[in-house]
Amino acid sequence: MIFSVQERSCGGESMLSPTTRNMGGNLSPQPEVSGGLNTEALTCIIERLESEIIDGSWINISYEETDLEMMPFLVAQANKKYPELNLKFVMSVHELVSSIKETRMEGVESARFIVNMGSLGIHISVVDFRVMDGKTSVILFEPAACSAFGPALLALRTKAVIEREQLPDCYFAMVELDIQRSSSECGI
Helix axes 149-165, 93-105, angle to 10 degrees: 40
Among residues 44, 69, 94, 123, which one is catalytic? 123
Is residue 84 part of the annotated active site? The answer reads: no
3-state secondary structure the chain: CCCCCCEEEECCEEEECCCEEEECCEEEECCCCCCCCCHHHHHHHHHHHHHHHHHCHHHHCCCHHHHHHHHHHHHHHHHHHCHHHCEEEECCHHHHHHHHHHHHHCCCCEEEEEEECCCCCCCEEEEEEEEECCEEEEEEEECCCCCCHHHHHHHHHHHHHHHHHCCCCEEEEEEECCCCCCHHHCCC
How many residues does this entry show for the chain? 188
Among residues 44, 69, 94, 186, which one is catalytic? 186
Is residue 44 part of the annotated active site? The answer reads: no
Residue 77's CB: how many other CB atoms inside 10 A? 15
Is residue 123 part of the annotated active site? The answer reads: yes
Among residues 47, 142, 165, 185, which one is catalytic? 142
Q: Which residues are catalytic?
A: 123, 142, 186
